[in-house]
Amino acid sequence: MAFVTPRLEDIPATKSAKPIFQKGVSHLAPTLIVLVACLYVGVVILLPALAVVTQAFAKGIAPFLENFQSDDLMSALRLTLLAAAIAVPANCIFGLAAATAIARRQFRGKALLLSVIDLPFSISPVVVGLMLVLLYSPNHGLFAGLVNSLGWKIIFSTPGIVMATIIVTFPFMAREVIPLLEEEGWEQEEAARTLGASDWQVFWMVTLPSVRWAALYGLILTTARALGEFGAVSVVSGNIGGQTQTLPLFVEDAYKQYHTELAFGAATVLGGVAIVSLLLKILVERLLEQEKAATRIDQEG
């Protein structure tokens, strides 16, 4: 019998374990990434926040509510709300105006204006406070003569706190609205003008409704940032209890004075505001995504 050498293609292929292993790793990797991310967020953010809330309610609800009988705490809360009540509408108005100008107009200095809007993102809030002191200090400020002649008190007073809050929260509204305006284009606005609408009517009836969710998103971020601002306000306020002390400053001062129950109680209030802002942010994001999906369906249909 003659010996026949088998050909390579006649030899049955054996299954390799390597593709199976690679497939298992490819399915495991996304799950592992999610677990690591959740663990990181839990340790860095959720665990400290839970510790603060636990300490605030360590002696029960009644002692926690008694913290709000503190005159200094209530004064800090009122001042914080006042600064936010002025800064948020101001930044909504000027943020929308700046976003519309950048997205709809071509002019010299457009890139510079966009850079100035982003400036509070890139510099420390403490530097923002120092800038205001260098400008409006009654002793050595650049405008000290004007401030003193008019009898204005800006530094170590409520106006300085409001100005600092406005500066650090200015970019949020503009930065949320600009991308959506650029994405939407101006065809609908031009059509409205062709039909005889004025620029003011176009803004209220076409432009603003098209960016309403982005504007609401910017409003939420601006409010949350205004209520929690610390660095710039600490420089311009003087941190005087019962007078120029905002709620974040009160938390620090109470903790340093070993009034831990007051500190944790006030911190819990700020944390509650942050949670509400986060929930509203998630809701607005979902509404915005639903609106975009509906728009795509209408365009494809």
Are the beta carbons of 223 and 86 closer than 8 angstroms? no
Q: Which domain holds residue 21?
A: 17-55
Is residue 110 included in any domain, yes or no? Answer: yes
**Is residue 60 included in any domain, yes or no?**
no
Q: Of 218, 233, 10, which is closest to residue 95 (Cα–Cα)?
A: 218
State whether 145 and 30 are in the same domain: no
> What is the model's pLDDT at position 23?
56
Query: Do 136 and 249 have their domain in common?
Result: yes
Instruction: State CA 76 to chain mean position distance.
Output: 22
Answer yes or no: do 31 and 165 share one domain. Answer: no
Q: Are residues 46 and 179 in the same domain?
A: no
Note whether 78 and 139 are same-domain residues: yes
> Are the C-beta atoms of 104 and 210 separated by less than 8 Å?
no
Same domain as 181, residue 99? yes
Residues 213 and 119 in one domain: yes
**Taking the chain, what is the end-to-end CA distance rounded to the nearest angstrom?**
75
* Domain annotation covers residue 1: no
The first and second tokens of residue 291, run together, are 């609106």
Per-residue pLDDT band at 181 (split at 50, 70, 90): confident
Structure tokens at 27: 């399915």
Please provide the DSSP assignment of 28-47 as one string.
HHHHHHHHHHHHHHIIIIIH
Same domain, 42 and 158: no
Q: Which amino acid is at 83?
A: A
pLDDT at residue 165 is higher than 90: yes
Q: Which of 133-147, 218-232, 281-295 has the lowest mean pLDDT?
A: 281-295
Q: The tokens 């049955």 sit on which residue?
A: 12
Same domain, 33 and 162: no
pLDDT in tens, 23-33: 555 667 778 88
Residue labelled with tokens 């170590």: 156
Residue 196: is its pLDDT beyond 70?
yes
Q: Of 231, 12, 50, which is closest to residue 130 (Cα–Cα)?
A: 231
Q: Is the pLDDT of residue 236 over 90?
A: yes
Q: What are phi and psi of 7, to 5 degrees?
A: -80, 155
pLDDT higher than 60, residue 71: yes
CB contact set of 174 (below 8 Å; sequence gap of 6+): 95, 96, 98, 99, 102, 117, 218
- Same domain? 251 vs 146: yes
Q: Write out the two tokens for 98.
A: 């700046």
Count Cβ atoms below 10 Å from residue 284 Cβ, excluding itself.
Answer: 21
Lowest mean pLDDT among 71-85, 89-103, 285-299: 285-299
* CATH code for the domain in which residue 266 is found: 1.10.3720.10
**What is the number of structural domains in the chain?**
2
180 three-state secondary structure: helix
